[in-house]
Amino acid sequence: MADHHHPHPSRADDPEPTTHHQVMGLALRELLIEKGIYTADDERARIEMLEAASPANGARIVARAWTDPAFKARLLTDPNPAIEALGLDPFNAIHVVENTETVHNVIVCTLCSCYPRQLLGPQPAWYKARAYRARVVREPRQVLAEFGTHVPDDVVVRVHDSTAELRYMVLPRRPAGTEGWDEAALAALVTRDSLIGVTVPTMP
Amino acid sequence: MTARFAVGDRVRIADRTPPAHQRTPAYVKGQAGVVVYLCGAEGQPESLGHGGDGTPPMDVYRVRLAQTDLWPDYRGSRGDTLDVEIFEHWLDPAER
C-alpha cells in the first residue's frame, strides 16, 4: 500500500464519555439488583427472550389465520387469547388490522418506536428513524412505493399511529396461487415488512 | 367508569400543549374524526410521565382522521385515513 499516504488519526481506545442518562441507568440497575427486586440472571433471561422473538412468530400467526377461518375471526376480534393459544406471549395488548381488496394497512409510531417486540423481535432501524415516522403519516403512498409497494388508487391506505398501549400487526392478504399450501409453506411467504405493512407477501 | 364516546361518534382532538409528558402527537391536534375502536382505560400519561400514578385511568379511543383533513396538500386517494389512539380527556364531541 505504498500509495496510502493520507493521514488519519487512529480511533480512540475508549468509547464516547458516558452520558448522564447512561450513568443513571446503570445506577438504577445496580440498585434494583442490590435490593433484590430482580436478579442479573432475570435480566439476562429477559434479554434472551426479547432477542429470541422474531418475525417467524408473526408469520405463524398469519399462516394459521389464512388456513383456519375460526382462528382468523378470533384473531381480529380478541387477538391476545388467540395468539397465546399458539404458545406465544404477546406481552402487550395486540390489535390486528386486516388487509383486504379495498384496504391496505401500515403501522408507525410517530412519538417513539412502539412495536410488538415481544412478539416479532426488535424493530428494524428504519422503523425507529425520524424519516419513516414523519413521512409515512404524511405521504404514505410515496413511502410505500419506496418499499416497492404500489397501492392502487381505489384501495384505501390506512395508517395506524401507535400512540398508546396497543401494539399493531398487519394481517396481509394471502397471495393468489397458494391454494392447498400447508401452514409452514405459507408462513415462509410472510416477511417482517409485510407484518408492518410496508410490503405484501408475494410468491417466490 | 363508562366510556364517554361510542364507536361512530364524531370527536375533536384538543389543541393544547400542557407542560407535561403527553401521548397526543402535534400533527393531530385540533383535528376532528370518528371513533372506530374503544381500547379500554389506561393511566394518564401526563401523570405517569412525572412520577404520578396515572389515576384516574382514562378511556383510550382509536380515532380515524381523513388524510385530506390532516394535510391540505395530501397526495393520495381521498379515502385514505389515519388511525390514532387518543385519551378521553383530549377529546370533545364534534359536529357531524
* Three cell numbers written together for A31: 440498585
Residue span of the structural domain in which A28 resides: 21-50
Judged against a pLDDT cut of 60, whether residue A1 lies above it is answered with no
- In the three-class reduction of DSSP (H, G, I as helix; E, B as strand; rest coil), residue B60 is classed as strand
Closest Cβ opposite residue B25 in set A158, A163, A165: A163
Residues of chain A found within 8 Å of residue B70, distances taken between Cβ atoms? 137-138
A29 and A92 together in one domain? no
A142 and A185 together in one domain? yes
* Three cell numbers written together for B59: 378511556
pLDDT digits (tens, 9 = 90+) for A163-194: 998 999 999 999 999 999 999 999 999 999 99
Q: Report d(CA A23, CA A15) in Å as an integer.
A: 14
Q: Is A154 left (phi over 0), alpha (psi -120 to 50) or beta?
A: alpha
Q: Do A157 and B87 touch (CB under 8 A)?
A: no
What count of residues does chain B have?
A: 96
pLDDT of residue A18: 81
CA dist A68 → A73, A152, A174 (Å) = 9, 28, 12
Residue A95 placed within a domain? yes
Q: Report d(CA A42, CA A177) in Å as an integer.
A: 46
Which of A175-180's residues contact partners 24+ apart within 8 Å by CB, and which partners?
Answer: A175/A200, A175/A201, A175/A202, A175/A203, A177/A203, A178/A66, A178/A203
Residue A145 placed within a domain? yes
Residues of chain B found within 8 Å of residue A135, distances taken between Cβ atoms? none
The alpha carbon of residue B68 is apart from the nearest alpha carbon of chain A, in Å, by: 10
CA dist A74 → A147, A155, A174, B12, B91 (Å) = 30, 25, 18, 31, 30
A161 and A118 together in one domain? yes
The alpha carbon of residue B42 is apart from the nearest alpha carbon of chain A, in Å, by: 8
Residue span of the structural domain in which B78 resides: 10-93
Residue A1 placed within a domain? no
A60 and A43 together in one domain? no
Residue B79 placed within a domain? yes
Judged against a pLDDT cut of 90, whether residue B95 lies above it is answered with no
Judged against a pLDDT cut of 80, whether residue A7 lies above it is answered with no
Residue B35 placed within a domain? yes
A64 and A93 together in one domain? yes
Q: What CATH code is carried by the domain that includes residue A146? A: 3.90.330.10
Residue B1 placed within a domain? no
- Alpha carbons within 13 angstroms on the beta-carbon side of residue A44 total 3
* Three cell numbers written together for A164: 398508546
pLDDT digits (tens, 9 = 90+) for A124-169: 999 999 999 999 999 999 999 999 999 999 999 999 999 998 999 9
A27 and A111 together in one domain? no
Question: Which residue is catalytic, options A10, A54, A109, A162?
Answer: A109
- Alpha carbons within 13 angstroms on the beta-carbon side of residue A69 total 0
Domains identified in chain A, total number: 2
Residue A28 placed within a domain? yes
A77 and A37 together in one domain? no
Decide if A54 is catalytic. no
- Alpha carbons within 13 angstroms on the beta-carbon side of residue B22 total 17
- Residue B28 carries which DSSP code? G
Residue A102 placed within a domain? yes
Q: Is the ipTM of this complex over 0.90?
A: yes
Q: What CATH code is carried by the domain that includes residue B33? A: 2.30.30.50
pLDDT digits (tens, 9 = 90+) for B25-57: 999 999 999 999 999 999 999 899 888 999 999
